[in-house]
Amino acid sequence: MLAALPEFLVASVLASVIGVRLGWLPALGWYGPQWMVLPSLALGLPAGALLGRLLDDLLPGAFAESWAPAAAARGVPPTSVARQAVRRCVPGLLPNLGLFVVGLTGGSVAVEQVFDIPGLGRLTLHAALAQDLPVLQSGTLALVLLAATAGVLARLAARLLTGPALRDGALHSLHRPGPPAPRALPLLYGAVLTAVIGLGLPRDPLALDALARLRAPSPAHPFGTDALGRDVLARVSHGALTTLGIALAVSAAALVTGLLLGLLPRLSGPLVDTVSAVPPVLAGLLVAGAAGSGPWTPALAVGAVAWSPLAAHTSALLRQERATTHLAATRALGAGRGYLLRHELLPAVLPPVARHALLRLPGIALGLAALGFLGLGAQPPSPEWGLLLAENQPYAERAPWAVLFPAAVLALLGALAVTATGGVRLPRRRERRRERPGGTAGPPGARITPAPRRRSHQPDALLSPVTTPPAQER
């Protein structure tokens, strides 16, 4: 749910509750370490939630490796085993961590606006709006240099952590087909979200009632009304149709583009470093300047930058899979690149990247709505979800339901996306080996050479996808 909440909403809640009501920390300006806490939380909570989900996707495979139960059986403390499991998963997370560093610097325009921080993202956006070309060029150049530096450092750190396994092929895959995920929670969240949308569709989202401004939830208005007397439930339901439809289309296009470019890391690496430096808001301004403002401008702008984290994730997983034992064994049996790509690499890379794309679906929906709020897409009184949050934010203290219910529906979408990611897995299938009598098994297209007769009935170590070389065992 934290990954689905918009940064400006988290910033507003932290500023109003912790900064104003409780008075624990300053909520305005940038004058020292105390002023850094609330903006850091507003930026770090959603990003950290998404990183936590990606880590949760990798940890079961790390704990299922043979070293983990062996270490536990020898009496190694559980904290040490857990620390090594996290270290095993870090190389797959480092590229996305580098992208988050860039996003927190250049994409934090809303948080800088809420806390009145003279940040680089806010400066670049204001320069673009004012057509101040020198400042815009300098800010964009600084963002690109930061992205390139973060990308290079992330790739070097991942290579150092993986170590000689890149050459020796001594790792195990963290993305093998797993057991089917429980389907109760996705069905429950989907049913609740469908019920909310269905209840609000018969209502008029544009009907004004000056006598019913900012009314609390009631049987006539289950989600209350906004500052103009419009029914919040009707606006949430009607906004879901356009927002979710376009977000799904952009997510699918970003997934396909990220996979195709991620499989070519030498080509996509510089592109990822450059594209990740451009905030979605600035990309929207560039697209609007080139193609004009229209209903598809937000989709083009968000789609132009949404593929970069998926491409970085694909490249990181591809690097790890190339260092696995079973891939080295299959390659030694004579498998070609096409067979390895179809039967080994894609089945291991596609499910986690698809789950990553689902996790980013609420963020893409918010990015589309935020660009519409800036005048680059749908205009008020369109019931976009981002417009709902932005329009009702000034009334959060007087009428919290006007912000709470749209944010709750957005968090419900995030919970649905998170729980649905468990079902994006390849089904278990039995290993099929093509054998000749007295021969050695191998992939299709490989040369099969007769093996000498042996009295021992132990399988060849080269054929086991989880066998560790003797030197690695010692």
DSSP sequence for 89-125: HHHHHHHHHHHHHHHHHHS-HHHHHHHT---HHHHHH
Please give the model's pTM, rounded to 2 decimal places: 0.68
| 156 in any annotated domain | yes
Tally of domains in the chain: 1
Separation between Cα atoms, residue 362 and residue 358, nearest integer Å: 8
| 172 in any annotated domain | no
pLDDT of residue 289: 63
Separation between Cα atoms, residue 6 and residue 409, nearest integer Å: 12
pLDDT of residue 268: 76
Q: What is the pLDDT tens value at each position of the chain, 474 positions in all?
A: 777 677 777 887 888 788 888 889 888 888 888 888 998 888 888 888 888 888 887 888 888 888 888 888 888 898 999 998 888 888 878 877 777 776 676 667 778 877 888 888 778 777 877 778 888 888 878 877 887 788 788 878 877 877 666 555 556 666 555 455 556 778 888 888 889 989 988 888 888 888 888 888 988 889 989 888 899 999 989 888 878 888 888 889 999 998 888 888 877 777 877 777 676 767 776 776 666 666 677 788 888 888 888 888 888 888 777 777 777 777 777 777 788 877 778 888 888 888 888 878 877 877 776 676 566 666 677 777 777 777 887 787 788 888 888 878 877 887 787 777 665 555 444 434 443 344 444 444 444 444 444 443 333 333 333 333 444 443
| 461 in any annotated domain | no
How many C-beta atoms surround the C-beta of residue 195 within 10 A? 10
**Residue 408: which residues within 8 A CB-CB, separation 6 or more?**
none
| 444 in any annotated domain | no
| 459 in any annotated domain | no
pLDDT of residue 149: 82
pLDDT of residue 470: 40
Locate 33 and state its tokens. Answer: 């370490």
| 430 in any annotated domain | no
| 441 in any annotated domain | no
**Residue 391: which residues within 8 A CB-CB, separation 6 or more?**
226, 227, 380
| 460 in any annotated domain | no
Separation between Cα atoms, residue 64 and residue 83, nearest integer Å: 14
CA 393: distance to chain centroid?
Answer: 26
Locate 89 and state its tokens. Answer: 């998963």
Residue 408: give the domain boundaries: 2-162+186-423
CATH of the domain at 404: 1.10.3720.10
